[in-house]
Amino acid sequence: MMQQLTPRAPQDSAPYSRSVNFVRRLRDRWHALIKELTKFGIIGIVNTALDFAVWNALLFIGPIKAQVISTTVSATSSYFMNRHWTFRHRARSGLRREYLLFFGFNAIGLLITAAILGIATYAFHVEHVAALNVVKLFAIGIATAFRFWAYRRWVFLHPEDQLYEPEDEPAPQR
């Protein structure tokens, strides 16, 4: 016996288009994240070199004091590079707000780096300059992961973020 096939009624394609849109949005977000990470990484390399140069030049005043100065110099450079290149497509939520948050998170990053350097120097008595540079590189890696997350989350906002408040709101029309 042979079964007779009857044509099916057309199905709603809405679930299909929702899943395609979801995949497309996911892909676009992934590409944006990779683009930001790449730019952030390039700026990070430049400012890490600046940080190491200043730190090594000032090492004679002590590793922690030198770290405070080198972080201040490299963080200032990093802010302007990140604002005008890495996160230029993001909303500008006010220079004062961004600058204070950026330096606040850099202060936390400095504390992370200084704590790791302090433990290596004073608890483990690491004194050789090459060993201190390796410890500093490790500490910078930990602090950098924290900073990238914090900048994306709280400093350089998307216009649809709830924390975003435009600097200049248009005056109401009468």
Give the tens place of pLDDT for each residue, 37-91: 899 889 989 998 998 899 999 999 988 899 889 988 998 899 889 888 888 777 6
Which residues, 6+ apart, have CB-to-CB distance to 69 below 8 Å? Answer: 54, 55, 58
Q: How far is CA 169 from CA 94, 114, 165, 172, in A?
A: 12, 41, 9, 9
DSSP H stretches of helix in the chain? 14-57, 63-81, 95-118, 129-150
- What's the mean pLDDT when you consider all of the chain? 81
- Measure the CA–CA gap between 163 and 76, rounded to whole angstroms: 24
pTM (whole model) above 0.85: no
Local confidence band at 173 (pLDDT 50, 70, 90 cut-offs): low
Exposed e or buried b for every residue in 99-128, given b needs 16+ CB within 10 A? eebbbebbeebbebbbebbeebbeeeebee
Tell me which residue of 67, 56, 46, 53 sits closest to 139, measured CA to CA: 67
Torsion of CA 22, 27, 30, 35, to 10 degrees: -140
Q: Regarding predicted confidence, which is higher, 159 or 19?
A: 19
pLDDT of residue 27: 83
pLDDT of residue 112: 94
Q: Regarding predicted confidence, which is higher, 169 or 110?
A: 110
pLDDT of residue 45: 92
